[in-house]
Amino acid sequence: MGYSWSAMRKVLEQENICDSLKGRIQYFVTRYKKTHDEECRVAIRLDGKEIFKSSFYDYLKKRKTLIESNVILKEHAKSSWDYWRKIDAEIINQGGLDRFSFYNAFHKYHNQSIGKSLISSDMVVKLFAIMDRRVGKRRLPIIFSEIHTYPEWLQLFVKLRIEAEGITAAQV
């Protein structure tokens, strides 16, 4: 059985978050029921200030741009499902996130080991893992050494976690 949003939020903000960021990070996901398409909004706040945000329209705009620019060609995809999975992964890399991507990432993260989450190709799963209390001070410099391979929006969270743990540039 799946988790409710409040249960997911409790896991992310209270149970699994590292001690140095507990009470400082808030996840926000909503959908607006009275709109014609029940649009949604996703945000992550640090000390009450949004440091990451995306909406359904951001997601759709990025999707349309990717499809029109043929960044991911259908010929290279083994199937149409493979093509759409690649499109969705690229949208998330660019910071476009809808509530279903957020929920799916949570379920992947919550149902696999922290090691698998840290090497996941889903950047939201990786975000949850980086903020997790099970990732210790010895593993963080290794993650920091790979920061150039992460999307810009995820780099911000890696730096935040490094700073919150009090790890200096000499230790990284």
Query: What pLDDT digit, counting tens, does each position of 93-137 carry?
Result: 888 888 888 999 999 999 999 999 999 999 999 999 999 999 998
Do the beta carbons of residue 150 and residue 132 sit within 8 Å?
no
- Phi then psi for residue 146, to 5 deg, are -100, 5
What is the tens place of the pLDDT at every residue in 38-67?
A: 577 889 999 999 999 888 888 888 888 888
Dist CA 38 CA 32 (whole Å): 5
Total Cβ atoms within 10 A of residue 53: 15
Q: Which of 3, 5, 80, 86 is nearest to 42 (CA)?
A: 5
- pTM, rounded to two decimals: 0.87
